[in-house]
Chains A and B, each alone.
Chain A
Amino acid sequence: MLNSGINVLFEGINMQRLLMGLLVTARVAVFSIIIGCTLGTIIGVIRTSKSKIIKMVFRIYLELFRIIPILVWLFVFYFVLPADFNINLDAEIVSIIVFSLWGAAEMSDIVRGALISLPKHQVESGKAIGLNTIQLYWYILIPQSLKRTLPSAINLATRMIKTTALLVMIGVIEVVKVGQQIIEHANLKNPTASFWVYGFIFFLYFIMCYPLSKLSQRLERKWAS
Chain B
Amino acid sequence: MNLDWSYMIDQIPLYKKALILTIKLAFWGILLSTIIGLICSIIQYSKVKVLRNIVQGYIELSRNTPLLIQLFFLYYGLPKMGITIEAELCAIIGLAFLGGSYMTEALRAGIEAVPVTQIETAKAIGLSNSQLIRYILLPQAVTSSVPALGANCIFLLKETSIFSGIAILELTNTTKDLIGMFYKTNESLLMLVIGYLIILLPMSLLLSWLERRVRHAEFGY
Chain A residues engaging chain B, CB cutoff 8 angstroms: 2, 5, 67-72, 75-76, 79-80, 83-84, 158, 162-166, 168-169, 176, 183, 191-199, 201-202, 205-206, 209-210, 213
Contact = CB atoms under 8 A, between A and B. Distances in A.
B176 interface: yes
Interface residues of B, dominant DSSP: helix
Given A69-B196, A202-B69, A202-B73, A75 B189 contact: yes
**Most A Cβ at <10 Å: residue of B193, B196, B200:** B193
B76 A194 contact: yes
B81 A176 contact: no
Given A176-B72, A194-B77, A75 B64 contact: no
B159 interface: yes
Contacts of A68: 158, 193, 196
Instruction: Determine the interface band of chain B, counting residues with CB < 8 A from chain A.
Output: 35 or more
A69 B81 contact: no
B9 to A, nearest CB: 21
24 contacts: A67-B197, A67-B200, A68-B158, A68-B196, A72-B161, A75-B172, A75-B176, A76-B189, A76-B193, A83-B185, A84-B1, A84-B185, A158-B64, A162-B66, A164-B66, A168-B68, A198-B72, A201-B69, A202-B70, A205-B64, A205-B66, A210-B64, A213-B63, A213-B64
Interface of B: 1, 60-61, 63-70, 72-73, 76-78, 80-81, 158-159, 161-162, 164-165, 172, 175-176, 179, 185-186, 189, 192-193, 196-197, 200-201, 204
A75 B69 contact: no
Most buried by B among A163, A194, A210: A194
In the A-B complex, the 9 residue pairs with the smallest Cβ-Cβ separation, listed nearest first, are A165-B66, A209-B64, A69-B161, A195-B77, A165-B68, A162-B66, A69-B158, A198-B77, A198-B73
A80 B72 CA distance: 28
B78 A195 contact: yes
A5 B189 CA distance: 40
A148 B189 CA distance: 38
